Amino acid sequence: DAIRRDGFIETTLSNLISFASDDDEEGGWELYVPHLVGAIYLQAIILYLTFNTHLEYIDLRLSYRRYNPYEKNTVLVVDIPETMRSAKKLEEYFNLCYDSVKPNSVTMLRKLNSLESLIERREGTILSLERQLVLKDSGSCGASDAKLNGLQEKLQKQNEEVASMQQKIKETDMKTDNDAK
């Protein structure tokens, strides 16, 4: 009972709960006041900081839009015809449409899902091959020359597929660039 009435301990939450369960007249709701004041104080600080951060964000966003008009220097074009899939061709087209296209400012981006998935499969094959080589070097049972040869052949085939796809992309770029001249 002496501990409950001693200074700081008197205002702790554990002491509050024990006082609230007591039937004596001392203690009770007035012990909740410091906790309530502290909670309100911390909430006010959090709201103040959140509000200030929000204002800074709004200012940055407005200044970006005011001084760097993104809609005037960025155009997204989807479903480009095969004959136009070149930075030079697109630049020529935009020069016909707009008078102020900066030279060499057109960028052609591609979504190469098939190439990415092929490279991921090749990386998996490389990991399998490395695992088999480690097993073979350690003398573990599980590594065999047949598995190693199969993985090496698979990796060689995947390397050729990746090189072929990269060459096809390069040829498409060169063809459309030459057509643009």
Instruction: Give pLDDT tens digits for 88-102.
Output: 787 788 778 777 666
- The last residue of one of the domains, among 109, 129, 160, is 109
The answer to whether residues 126 and 102 belong to one domain is no
The answer to whether residues 93 and 121 belong to one domain is no
Q: Answer yes or no: is 74 within a domain.
A: no
Q: Give the range of the structural domain holding residue 92, as residue numbers without chain letter.
A: 80-109
Question: Is the Cβ–Cβ distance between 35 and 8 less than 8 Å?
Answer: no
Position with higher pLDDT, 21 vs 168: 168
The answer to whether residues 102 and 130 belong to one domain is no
pLDDT exceeds cutoff 70 at 4: no
The answer to whether residues 86 and 135 belong to one domain is no
What pLDDT does 103 receive?
66
The answer to whether residues 117 and 164 belong to one domain is yes
Q: How many domains does the chain have?
A: 3
Q: Answer yes or no: is 126 within a domain.
A: yes
Chain segment 18-65, per-residue pLDDT in tens: 555 555 555 556 667 777 888 999 999 999 999 999 999 999 888 877
Average pLDDT, the chain: 75
Q: Answer yes or no: is 50 within a domain.
A: yes
Question: Is the Cβ–Cβ distance between 129 and 136 less than 8 Å?
Answer: no
Percent of the chain with pLDDT over 90: 11
> What's the token pair of residue 119?
């490279």
pLDDT exceeds cutoff 70 at 73: no
Q: Answer yes or no: is 75 within a domain.
A: no
> What's the token pair of residue 176?
């459309």
Tallying the residues shown for the chain, one arrives at 181
C-alpha–C-alpha distance, residues 86 and 173, integer Å: 6
The answer to whether residues 126 and 169 belong to one domain is yes
The answer to whether residues 58 and 86 belong to one domain is no
Q: Answer yes or no: is 72 within a domain.
A: no
The answer to whether residues 40 and 88 belong to one domain is no
Q: Answer yes or no: is 104 within a domain.
A: yes
Position with higher pLDDT, 86 vs 177: 86
pTM score: 0.37
pLDDT exceeds cutoff 90 at 14: no
